[in-house]
Amino acid sequence: MMSKRLFAHTRRLLPGSTSSRSSSSTTLYSKAAPAVMNLVQNEMPETQHRSSGYVGPSYEQILKTRKTHLTPNVVAHFKKPLVIHEGHMQWLYDHEGRRYLDMFGGIVTVSVGHCHPKVNQALSEQISKLWHTTNIYMHPKIHEVVCFVNSGSEANDLAMLMARIHTGNQDILSFRNAYHGMSPYTMGLTAHSTWRFSLAGVNNGLVHVMNPDPYQGIWGGAACRDSPVQTTRSCQCQEGCQAGDAYYNELEETFKYSLPRGKVAAMFAESIQGVGGTVQFPKGYLKRAAALIRANGGLFVADEVQTGFGRTGEHFWGFEGHDYVPDIVTMAKGIGNGFPLAAVVTTPEIAASLGQALHFNTYGGNPMASAVGIAVLDVIEEEQLQRNSLEVGTYFLKCLEELQQRFEIVGDVRGKGLMIGVELVEDREKRTPLATPHVLEIWETCKDLGVLFGRGGLHGNVLRIKPPMCIDRSDVKFAVDVLDRAITASLAKKK
């Protein structure tokens, strides 16, 4: 059963557990895009998969439908949005048959590969037996102390509810620069102005604390974070982490001035911030923060929506790299490899708090999603994708570090496993974000050359690299070479 498999990965770690464990593209290559694209297609790592060919509405019809029938907030990536009609493992194919190396994984969602054969088979078998029952009935692929929902926002929403009901307290902390969802409830947790609407009551009982960012924050140095690549800032640390101490003192100040003494419901933390630009925290900080929250009556919630399922390499869960044990773990995205599936894992005592009233989710843990989730866990284990994340991810980081040494605009390279960020800057000493037009030029050129990166950070100047965990070193080499070309071309145009 999927829930038993998920719970086995977390119950040994949870407290109280008895277990042991739009217009035409105008980039540099726009005038010769077909020729350049064909050249790049020949340079790409080979794949045995061949696209079946696109059959459907024209590009112009799709664009018109998107503009006239979808809400205006649905904005496509790139000046000339891609029509993606097929995917296989780390590859995506557009309507013209062009192949792209997916280095963003559907926003950190495709964990084991697009249309992985084993996951496809599991869904096909389940879909021919039973689509839906709702959890008012039992079915054989669900149960244990796992609450299944459909998205990361729903998972964090439910965790907020659990924490407040269980503790009897209302105030919840999260970091500035954090992203925890966009439901009306979780929008208050999210501390990114670009992702917030002006709504009354969103911030009720929510406090945003200083983000302990060793690169862009007030404090930080060259030995602060758990990454194969460190910041270029100087560091005077001898024992422990001075930056971590300073940020922890700021957290204590929040308790001193902003919270009712001894009354906090929870604190939420991503193990590595995703939308915020792959921000890592100083070593030891989260462990100390969790202890402080519990000492004041609250629960600590690990948001593993993007960092879970082996992506950080050394551990299955990102929080394990911080050497602490959360009270609640929320997860989504990679758990379903693109299928709508998310979950909240906690202790029986905390879960029992939901018994104070009726609670229900129509589609949470439905048979199709459960079958997919089981198959995804099988593939991660059978294909050793956690190990691959560690080995290929470390190689990726080291290759990107070489780019950082060559290009001043590559201000920071960071991350663990295949959770990687590259921060582009105007001035390396001042760490000033690279102007948006220059970032977009590099990003668009990478797309034109066959590699799809994400973007993140408050200023959108961080390349987010979170590919399917099945990529290999040849994919890394191709991606880094393309980024090298794009940066070189952009700098040449600025001269």
pLDDT bin (cut points 50, 70, 90) of residue 28 is very low
E-strand ranges in 400-446 read: 410-416, 419-427, 432-433
Q: Supply the DSSP string of 215-239, one letter for each residue.
A: TTSSS--TT-SSSSS--SS----SS
Of 303, 276, 311, nearest in space to 455 by CA: 276
Q: What is the pLDDT of residues 277-325, one digit of tens each?
A: 999 999 999 999 999 999 999 999 999 999 999 999 999 999 999 999 9
Mean pLDDT, range 100-123, rounded to an integer: 97
Q: Which H or E run contains 467? A: none
pLDDT bin (cut points 50, 70, 90) of residue 359 is confident
Q: How far apart are CA 425 and CA 305, in angstroms?
A: 28
Q: Is the dihedral of CA 16, 308, 268, 430 positive or negative?
A: positive
Q: What is the pLDDT of residue 92?
A: 97
At 122, the amino acid letter reads: A
Looking at domain 30-115+386-494, its CATH superfamily turns out to be Aspartate Aminotransferase, domain 1 (3.90.1150.10)
Domain with CATH 3.40.640.10 in the chain: 2-17+129-382
Mean pLDDT, range 72-95, rounded to an integer: 92
Mean pLDDT, range 18-47, rounded to an integer: 52
CA contacts within 13 A on the Cβ side of 81: 16
| Domain 2-17+129-382 top-level CATH class | alpha beta
Q: What is the DSSP-derived secondary structure letter of residue 268? A: E
Q: What is the pLDDT of residue 5?
A: 67
Q: What is the pLDDT of residues 456-473, one digit of tens each?
A: 999 999 999 999 999 999
Q: What is the pLDDT of residues 204-258, one digit of tens each?
A: 999 999 999 999 999 999 989 999 999 999 887 766 789 999 999 999 999 999 9
Q: What is the pLDDT of residue 36?
A: 55
* CB neighbour list of residue 185: distance below 8 Å, 6 or more residues apart: 157, 160, 161
Q: What is the pLDDT of residue 241?
A: 85
Q: How far apart are CA 28 and CA 208, in angstroms?
A: 41
Q: Supply the DSSP string of 92-151, one letter for each residue.
A: EEETT--EEEESSHHHHT-SS-BT-HHHHHHHHHHHTT-S---TTS--TT--SSEEEESS
Assigned token pair, 221: 């140095």
Q: How far apart are CA 337 and CA 483, in angstroms?
A: 26
Q: What is the pLDDT of residues 367-421, one digit of tens each?
A: 999 999 999 999 999 999 999 999 999 999 999 999 999 999 999 999 999 999 9
pLDDT bin (cut points 50, 70, 90) of residue 136 is confident
Q: What is the pLDDT of residue 236?
A: 74
For 238-242, the CB contacts below 8 A with 24+ separation are 240/284, 241/282, 241/283, 241/284, 241/285
Q: What is the pLDDT of residues 187-207, one digit of tens each?
A: 999 999 999 888 888 889 999
Domain with CATH 3.90.1150.10 in the chain: 30-115+386-494
Rg (CA), the chain: 22
Q: How far apart are CA 273 and CA 78, in angstroms?
A: 24
pLDDT bin (cut points 50, 70, 90) of residue 135 is confident
Is residue 463 within 8 A of residue 397, CB to CB? The reply is no
Q: Does the pLDDT value for residue 33 go beyond 70? A: no
pLDDT bin (cut points 50, 70, 90) of residue 146 is confident
Three-state secondary-structure class, residue 390: helix
Q: What is the pLDDT of residues 243-283, one digit of tens each?
A: 999 999 999 999 999 999 879 999 999 999 999 999 999 99
Q: What is the DSSP-derived secondary structure letter of residue 280? A: P
- Residues of the chain above pLDDT 90, percent: 77
* CB neighbour list of residue 120: distance below 8 Å, 6 or more residues apart: none
Query: For the chain, give me the number of helices (H) and strands (E)?
Result: 13, 16
